[in-house]
Amino acid sequence: MPHRTLGERLHAARKHAKLTLAAVAEALTREVAGKTFTPQAVQQWEKDRTEPDHATLIAFARLTGVNAHWLLTGISTNQVAGDGGEFGTAVRGGRVVPKISLLEAITLAPSYKTTEYVHTHFDCSDKAFVIDVFDARNAPEYLPDVHRVVIDPEIEPQPGDMVLARIDGAPVFGKYTRARGGIVEIHALNEDWEPRRVDGDNGDRIIGVMTEHAKPRRR
């Protein structure tokens, strides 16, 4: 039986996990920092009267053991869920993170709104996101339109880390380097590209550190 709405899928996932409304509310209150949930709030989600935010939705998927992509879209494929089952499979050893646009990635407060989610292989924070590699600055290790990277804004960058930065209002992806005098530069792996200086006084900033990269599977 298809579950056409988010509320129907939330309800089906909870029943599949054999959890009560109260159990879900209590578990989410422990899992999602700074938030308190009630059984009534969970019931409102299931009736499609309100919706949980992104962090809560991902925590709900983990709690009930279902595939977050199925929960969000109602679609479960072999590419997204390893067994192709109705509920998909839970993520182990990683997270489900949103794939967002470059413009979204370099804003001061990204909304993380998306229709595509990616399963990471390694753990990362709930602020992590995925972007496509967008230029040849670091070719051939990172190729535009071929590779995608997971960026975590919660990780403090260290020299040698691959990072996403905003410089002069545009995205720059490369190796984090500290020069003399504490000057921060982003160096390209491709020698044809010049280093870029991160000038905080000009509004430049490091967005986050790359935690992994991959070549997405083609259908």
CA angle 86, 92, 94 (to 5 degrees): 115
| pLDDT on residue 88 | 57
Percentage of residues of the chain with pLDDT beyond 90: 57
Query: Tens of pLDDT along 80-113?
Result: 333 445 665 444 456 778 889 999 999 988 888 7
Domains of the chain, each with CATH number or no CATH: 6-90 (1.10.260.40), 98-214 (2.10.109.10)
Take residue 157 and report the two structure tokens written for it: 């960058």
Nearest residue to 132 via CA among 140, 124, 142, 123: 142
Q: Are strands 117-119 and 148-152 parallel, antiparallel or unpaired?
A: unpaired
Alpha-carbon span 40 to 64, nearest angstrom: 18
Which has more pLDDT, 103 or 123?
103
* pLDDT tens track for 143-155: 998 999 999 999 9
166-189 average pLDDT score: 93
d(CA 27, CA 62): 11
The answer on pLDDT for 219 being more than 90 is no
